Structure 1
Amino acid sequence: MKFQNLASTALILLLASCTPTPSNNSANNPNNPNTSNPNEVSKTTPTATNASDRSGSFVKAEVPTEGKVRIVTENGKNFIEFDRSFKTDKGPDLVVVLHRSRDLLKETKPPTYSIKEGDYINISPLQSTNGSQKYEIPSNVQVSDFHSVAIWCKQFNATFGTASLGS
């Protein structure tokens, strides 16, 4: 038990002390269907869309994460939008993922809330740890199959924060 606590503390300290590292292999990631342009992300102010959009609020998993997120449709394309109150900690290899779970925290285990391959789609590297952001969801992704958005540290398989998507 003492060893588990020591190992958990070491992992938390390691994650907390890391700085963002750009990932050059997102185009080779089989979980990233958007291989034509892995950096197709723009910072923007969220825009009004139709009432069928899904939204949620980020909650802490491994590290404090907050803000609102929503899936919107504009000109036939789906996007993930973070509002200006979005904030999370810095970390290595952070990405935005869509996850199949409705409650990622209940279906994974602390302290890292690791996710399993096949349960998520890697949308894009996280461009900023705070503020409004907009990420295009590739057209071949069936959005209705996914029920949450997460900020995930790919390098350590650690979920920083998650938001369940409701109507």
Structure 2
Amino acid sequence: MPRLTTRWRAALIAAAAVAVVVTAVALPLFQPWRLFTDKVVDEALPGAVPISTQSSSTTPPTVSEKPSTGPEVSTAPPEVLLTGKLITHEHATEGTVAVLRLADGSRVLRLENLDTSDGPDLKVWLSDAAVVPGRPGWHVFDDGRYRNLGSLKGNHGNQNYAIPSTVKLDDFRSVAIWCDRFNVSFGAAELKAA
């Protein structure tokens, strides 16, 4: 009978050691706490003239055509080139996307009213893949051509991502919120001419 107790103890110690190793590897990889975290980013529309509303005056703020000091600032609104509406893939995702051309000729991808889950290693991608509603999003957008515009700044709000001048927009037809760690789309939008 003492042998059985010794074997039982050894099995428990081995199981505990395996559980510690699995936990030590799984927690940083999966980051399950991100299911309960949110990051809100609310960036201004590129090219918009900022308005300060902090004042003791009861008169509403005004925007002048030219600032009183400093270099001349263009007040021309950005040109909308492409638009799309985000749909859900692996995680519930909502919001809109727009590709904007600014007065200086640069281009920006704008996410507006984004609402998705937080997750590890989330990126914003331009992709040549079609957006298929109802598909889970696994291994969809990394099979063809894509361009990583950077890490997702937050899982809620309004955000801007610079599009390099070398990117040909005709080569891409969608935007994906992509989890690079697990090769899955949280949500995506088909880009259409504005």
Aligned-partner SS, 2:79: coil
Residue 89 of structure 2 corresponds to 61
What is the CA-CA distance between 1:148 and the residue it aligns to? 0.7
Residue 99 of structure 1 corresponds to 127
The one of the two structures with greater contact order (alpha-carbon pairs below 8 A, sep at least 6) is: 1
Give the 5 Å matches for 1:99-138.
99-101=127-129, 103-105=130-132, 110=136, 112-138=138-164
1:19 matches 2:34: yes
Give the 5 Å matches for 1:1-167.
17=32, 19=34, 43-45=43-45, 48-50=77-79, 53-74=81-102, 75-83=104-112, 85-101=113-129, 103-105=130-132, 110=136, 112-167=138-193
Q: Please tell me whether the aligned partners of residues 124 and 152 of structure 2 are also in contact (alpha carbons under 8 angstroms).
A: yes
- RMSD in angstroms over aligned alpha carbons? 2.6
Amino acid at match of 2:131: L
Q: What TM-score do the two structures reach when normalised by structure 1?
A: 0.68
Aligned-partner SS, 2:132: helix
What is the CA-CA distance between 1:49 and the residue it aligns to? 2.3
What is the CA–CA distance in structure 2 between the aligned matches of 1:77 and 1:136, rounded to whole Å? 8
What is the CA–CA distance in structure 2 between the aligned matches of 1:162 and 1:44, rounded to whole Å? 22
Task: Compare CA radii of gyration and give the structure with the larger one.
Answer: 2
What is the CA–CA distance in structure 1 between the aligned matches of 2:98 and 2:145, rounded to whole Å? 19
Overall identity of the aligned pairs, in %? 33
Q: What TM-score do the two structures reach when normalised by structure 2?
A: 0.59
Q: Please tell me whether the aligned partners of residues 105 and 113 of structure 1 are also in contact (alpha carbons under 8 angstroms).
A: no
What is the CA–CA distance in structure 2 between the aligned matches of 1:72 and 1:58, rounded to whole Å? 17
Amino acid at match of 1:145: D
What is the CA–CA distance in structure 1 between the aligned matches of 2:44 and 2:182, rounded to whole Å? 29
- Segments of 4+ moved more than 6 angstroms: none
